[in-house]
Chain A
């Protein structure tokens, strides 16, 4: 293996060439704060919080954009580094509403956490604030520019991973804003409401709409498979009192932190009173709840009867694109070999 030897916080390490300092540090358990980093994206170096000191290299260097080099002597938490991070956080919080009490993201907000960690209170420069801008035209999520720290993650995810390019930056300098082209609002943009931007927003600027109020520390998460299609995206359901209040994509699965609009936002039916949670059989003209065993018994006996009475071709089967390939395969197999008919098709046929 092609490696370099270097020193991080006084200890020697041997690390694979080409590794970024941020990754090298996280692999050895050193936590460097980041706001704009996402392993899936091209590094942008915009938040500047991951800066570290490299002896003999002059000014500070961002760990997320710097590769390890032979003989480097890195300090991730030196006085100079900590001071710079504090100053940057101070600048951010100075131009930020202190709404943590009512903010939906409180408890799951990087700005809040880092200000706590680095001892930043209300901000030294609470003078002019960015102009407020609020976009609530999307049915699934809202955007509050006053809470946006312009990390750029949403823009980059929409561009590099989602491939939709619905949002970008507008204006310059202090007036910079995440916006849709020509300021026409999300509703009139090419946004497909996948919510992948919402999932990466490190603060409360992009918020999913939720029917229920909850605090981030009240929720339980349960890993599950999205039932909407055969891709089988992994997701963590956020529940409070056994009710689903939100969905986060799993990063450690094949969907790598992405979902589509259905997986991300369409969960409210789960606790809808009309939802069937038990099989029903019609008894004396009325649908009544029953057990799965009984339901299957009814189905198989009726199928046998029908085959005897009317023959195989009296059956027709239609499956769904939501099922996996394996399910669809089994379904047609059952129709062809058990029921003995080729009358089987799939809803995705156009």
Chain B
């Protein structure tokens, strides 16, 4: 069993040579006392949840300890009562990073106060938003931060058993977690009588079976209990009656990864970062048509402009930036003129979007907003668990309407029909999936109604993206190089060398291959 002294010893032994080695590698630099990743991309970032990622070796617990790992647990167990830990987290105003932004301290307090012979703490690592990979990065690159966060949470609420529900599609994360748990157990940082304090805490892995909805807290518990992962109605708080009817706290990976830092540096420090109501940082997965895609961790309240342009470098290939979707498939589409919106729970809510788990999909001028709404809704239609009527039947109908609009078969009244369905589905669905599934439709209609109207009334796609509504044509700029004719998969292009070529519209399947290869931009989309 590891002691306080031993923990200090490991840190002192490991840190100097590790820092030296890292500085030699030229990937990191000091910012104040902290080692951070070097480079333009990281300048504006503030990394708390990701602080060790890409810096330490995640398979070596000593490297985690070198950067103060498990010192927060030590402090909690040896210097604080469980109630103090709950108070510290409450004071920090840490809010859940899994999507809803519920204050973590308040949640913990519910379970802390509730008397029971057994309590559980669950780490929700079922990250299912397409394009999101922040939780995965933390699990793969800094698994101990999650274990430490869970142990602190377990101590705070009086639980001796934790579960990590992790997607089976993340084999590397599973492996790293297994290694980390094994090492922590060997050191006695998990198991019985941790630091000789009498506190016992164990963590087991549970593999998710691939349904997005299993990320919903109650569906996740059903799944751990061995049933089909379908959300339960909220008859009780899960903090009182959760897994197997026992008080259960469920927290997201990123939320838990913030806990050790807060315990080490204090609630005040945490609140000095971010905004008043949403302190700290948030990790975003910046993807889509953006120049520098990747994970960014920034203080809450940073504007979309800073994230998309200053860090992300704006739209790809010099195209015009059009919009960004935050919050994953159930988030909202934010148009270019709202680019100065600060990114925090409240501000995003005001413009009909959500923080969600931190997906950020950038769209450029070629993105059709009806098509993108359909794309996101498609995900929700597929992932609906089928339990409740509005989500099972309603999202399907919305998808059918969007599909016909993008095919040029939209009819008068479709926009109103979509608005009506959106309202019913979001106000009557059982769980968050159905309640938020219409968001992309609601926001694209709100901000891009003219695009919907163009599809329905003029049978045209302003972004020139919906295949059924566009035509490829060769203009007089053609120099007869024949390249297009060579790439056309259906031989729709004819013409002699050095003469203007022609596309047979009856044969063309609108694949766009010719458009991409023409050296003189002689092919236009109309």
Distance of A147 from chain B, by nearest CB (Å): 15
* Alpha-carbon distance A95/B420, docked complex (angstroms): 18
Q: Which residue of A lies closest to B397 (CB)?
A: A125
Give residues of chain A (21-64) contacting chain B, Cβ–Cβ below 8 Å. Answer: 42-49, 51, 59-60, 62, 64
In the complex, which residues of chain A have a beta carbon less than 8 angstroms from the beta carbon of B421? 87
Contact, CB under 8 Å: B389 / A91: yes
Contact, CB under 8 Å: B390 / A88: yes
Q: Which residue of A lies closest to B387 (CB)?
A: A46
B211, B228, B400, B429: which contacts A48 (Cβ < 8 A)? B429
Contact, CB under 8 Å: A87 / B400: no
Contact, CB under 8 Å: B428 / A48: yes
A59, A127, A128, A174: which contacts B427 (Cβ < 8 A)? A59
In the complex, which residues of chain A have a beta carbon less than 8 angstroms from the beta carbon of B211? 172
B: interface residue count bin: 35 or more
Contact, CB under 8 Å: B382 / A173: yes
Give residues of chain A (61-108) contacting chain B, Cβ–Cβ below 8 Å. Answer: 62, 64-65, 83-84, 87-88, 91-92, 94-95
The verdict on A173 contacting B233 (CB below 8 Å), with A59-B427, A91-B394 known, is no
Give residues of chain B (216-239) contacting chain A, Cβ–Cβ below 8 Å. Answer: 228, 230, 232-235
In the complex, which residues of chain B have a beta carbon less than 8 angstroms from the beta carbon of A64? 233
* Alpha-carbon distance A42/B227, docked complex (angstroms): 15
Contact, CB under 8 Å: B424 / A84: yes
B396 at interface, CB cutoff 8 A = yes
> Which residue, B386, B421, B426, has most C-beta atoms of chain A within 10 A?
B386
A169 at interface, CB cutoff 8 A = yes
* Alpha-carbon distance A125/B404, docked complex (angstroms): 13
Q: Which residue of A lies closest to B395 (CB)?
A: A173
A: interface residue count bin: 35 or more
* Alpha-carbon distance A91/B386, docked complex (angstroms): 13
In the complex, which residues of chain B have a beta carbon less than 8 angstroms from the beta carbon of A337? none
Contact, CB under 8 Å: B427 / A84: yes
Q: Given known contacts A84-B427, A150-B387, A172-B385, what 5 new A-B pairs fall within 8 Å (CB)?
A: A84-B428, A91-B393, A128-B400, A172-B386, A173-B395
A49, A91, A175: which contacts B397 (Cβ < 8 A)? A91
Q: Which residue of B lies closest to A44 (CB)?
A: B233
B381 at interface, CB cutoff 8 A = yes
Q: Which residue of B lies closest to A151 (CB)?
A: B389
Contact, CB under 8 Å: A62 / B386: no
B430 at interface, CB cutoff 8 A = yes
What would be 18 A-B contacts, judged by CB atoms less than 8 Å apart? A43-B233, A43-B235, A45-B233, A46-B430, A48-B428, A48-B430, A59-B428, A59-B435, A62-B233, A84-B424, A87-B390, A87-B420, A92-B393, A128-B400, A171-B386, A172-B384, A173-B384, A174-B384
Contact, CB under 8 Å: B394 / A45: no
Q: Mark B381-412, 1 if CB is under 8 A from A, else 0.
A: 11111111110111111001000000000000
B389, B394, B417, B420: which contacts A46 (Cβ < 8 A)? B389
A3 at interface, CB cutoff 8 A = no
Contact, CB under 8 Å: B390 / A173: no
Contact, CB under 8 Å: B397 / A127: yes
Q: Mark A161-174, 1 if CB is under 8 A from B, else 0.
A: 00000001101111
In the complex, which residues of chain B have a beta carbon less than 8 angstroms from the beta carbon of A175? 386
The verdict on A168 contacting B427 (CB below 8 Å), with A174-B396, A175-B386 known, is no
Distance of B387 from chain A, by nearest CB (Å): 5
In the complex, which residues of chain B have a beta carbon less than 8 angstroms from the beta carbon of A128? 396, 400
List of 10 A-B pairs having minimum Cβ-Cβ separation, nearest first: A176-B386, A45-B233, A91-B393, A65-B233, A173-B384, A87-B424, A125-B397, A174-B396, A59-B427, A48-B428
The verdict on A173 contacting B427 (CB below 8 Å), with A44-B233, A48-B388, A65-B233 known, is no
A65, A87, A124, A169: which contacts B235 (Cβ < 8 A)? A65
Contact, CB under 8 Å: B382 / A91: no
Distance of A54 from chain B, by nearest CB (Å): 13
